[in-house]
Structure 1
Amino acid sequence: MEPDTYRLIQQREDIWRFIRRNPQWYRYLTREPNRLSELELASKQYYGKTLPQRLEKTQQNIQMIRLLMEMAGSWND
C-alpha cells in the first residue's frame, strides 16, 4: 500500500476500523490506491453516516418522541 494512503487510513479511526472489519478493502487499496473515495463512501454507508441514513434516523427519533408524548398525555387523562 502506498505510504500516503496508509497514513490517511491511520489518521481516520472510522476508516481504520472499517478496513479491519472488511479486509477486502486492504487488498483493493493495495492494488488501486485511487479507490480511496470509494472506501470513504462504503465506510459512511456501513456506519450509517450518509445523509439519507441520518435523516431517516432523525425521523425515527421524532416519531418516538411524539409517541412518548402521546402516551404521557393519555396517562394524565
Structure 2
Amino acid sequence: MRVEVQQFLAERQELRYFIRQNPNWYRKLSRDPSQVAILEKEANQFYGRTLPQRVEKVQNSLSLAMMMIEMLKMGQATPANPQGPAE
C-alpha cells in the first residue's frame, strides 16, 4: 500500500477499523489508491452516516417519543385510586 494512503488511514481511525473489518480493501487500495473516495462512502454506509440512515434514525426516535407521550397520557387518564371508593 502506498505511503500516502497509509498516512491518510493513520489520520482516520474509523477508516482503519473499517478496513480491518473488510480486508479486501487492502488489496483494492494497493492496486488502485484512487478508490479512497469509494472506501469513505462504504465506511459511511457501514457506520450509518448516510442521509437516509440518519433520517430513519430520527424518525425512529420521534416515533418512540410519541409512543411514550401517548403512554403517559393513557396513564393520566386512569383514576388515581383503582381499588374503588374507600369505605
Task: Give the TM-score, by structure 2 length.
Answer: 0.86
Structure of higher CA gyration radius: 2
TM-score normalised by the chain length of structure 1? 0.97
C-alpha separation between the residues in 2 aligned to 1:7 and 1:50?
25
| Matched ranges for 1:36-51 at <5 A | 36-51=36-51
The CA deviation at 1:68 is 0.5
User: Unpaired runs of 5+ in structure 2?
Assistant: 78-87
Name 1:73's counterpart in structure 2.
Answer: 73
Instruction: Flag as ranges the 4+ runs of structure 1 deviating above 6 A.
Output: none
Matches within 5 A, 1:1-77: 1-77=1-77
Cα distance between partner residues in 1 of 2:52 and 2:43:
15
Aligned residue pairs, count: 77
1: CA distance, partners of 2:54 / 2:9: 24
User: Structure 1: which 5+ runs fail to align?
Assistant: none
User: 1:67 is aligned with what amino acid?
Assistant: M
- Looking at secondary structure, tell me which structure has more helix per residue: 1
Q: For 2:68 and 2:12, how far apart are their aligned partners in 1?
A: 37
Q: CA deviation at 1:64?
A: 0.5
Once the 2 structures are TM-superposed, how far is the Cα of residue 7 of structure 1 from its aligned partner? 0.6
